[in-house]
Amino acid sequence: MATYRIRHCEQLSGEVSIHSAKNAVLPLMCACLLTREPLTLERVPALTDVHTLLSILTDCGVSVRRDGDTLTLWAEEPKSPTAPDLLSRMRASVLVMGPLLARTGYARIALPGGCAIGQRPIDLHLKGMEALGAQVQLTPGSVTLQGRLRGGSVYLDFPSVGATENILLAAALASGSTRIENAAKEPEIVDLCACLARMGVGISGAGTGEITVTGATQLHGCTYRPIPDRIEAGTILCASAMTEGSVLLRGIRAEQMRAVLFKLEETGVSLRETPAGLRLTGRASQPIQVRTLAYPGFPTDMQAPMMALALRLRGTSVFMETIFENRFMHAREMVRLGAGIRIEDRIALVSGGGVLAGTTVTSTDLRGGAALMLAGLAAEGETVLRDPEGHIARGYEDLPGMLNSLGADIQAEEEG
Ligand code: UD1
The verdict on 202 and 252 lying in the same domain is no
Q: Whose CA is nearest to atom 1 of ligand 1?
A: 161
Task: Select from 305, 319, 287 the least CA-distant residue to 375.
Answer: 305
The verdict on 198 and 254 lying in the same domain is no
The verdict on 286 and 355 lying in the same domain is yes
Q: Whose CA is nearest to atom 12 of ligand 1?
A: 301
- Rounded to the nearest whole angstrom, what is the distance from the C-alpha of residue 323 to the centroid of ligand 1? 8
The verdict on 202 and 343 lying in the same domain is no
Task: Please give the Cα distance from 250 to 228 (Å, whole number).
Answer: 10
Query: Is 162 a pocket residue for ligand 1 (Cβ < 6 Å)?
Result: yes
Domain boundary among 178, 205, 224: 224
pLDDT in tens, 24-81: 999 999 999 999 999 999 999 999 999 999 999 999 999 999 999 999 999 999 999 9
The verdict on 10 and 106 lying in the same domain is no
Residue 145 sits in which domain range?
A: 22-224
Contact 392, 327 (CB under 8 A): no
The verdict on 66 and 194 lying in the same domain is yes
Domain boundary among 224, 251, 284: 224
Number of domains in the chain: 2
Q: What is the pLDDT of residue 53?
A: 96
Task: Please give the Cα distance from 75 to 88 (Å, whole number).
Answer: 22
The verdict on 10 and 73 lying in the same domain is no
- Rounded to the nearest whole angstrom, what is the distance from the C-alpha of residue 161 to the centroid of ligand 1? 6
The verdict on 7 and 34 lying in the same domain is no
Whether cis (ω within 30° of 0) applies to the bond prior to 296 is yes
| Largest interatomic CA distance in the chain | 62
The verdict on 107 and 67 lying in the same domain is yes
The verdict on 167 and 236 lying in the same domain is no
pLDDT in tens, 82-137: 887 777 778 888 999 999 999 999 999 988 655 554 556 899 999 999 999 999 99
Output the domain CATH number for residue 410. Answer: 3.65.10.10
Task: Select from 207, 209, 214, 167 the least CA-distant residue to 190.
Answer: 207
The alpha helices in 149-186, defined as continuous H runs, are 161-171
> Catalytic one among 30, 32, 60, 115?
115
Domain boundary among 224, 246, 261: 224
- Closest ligand 1 atom, residue 49 Cα: 8
The verdict on 220 and 282 lying in the same domain is no
Residue 177: strand, helix, or coil? strand
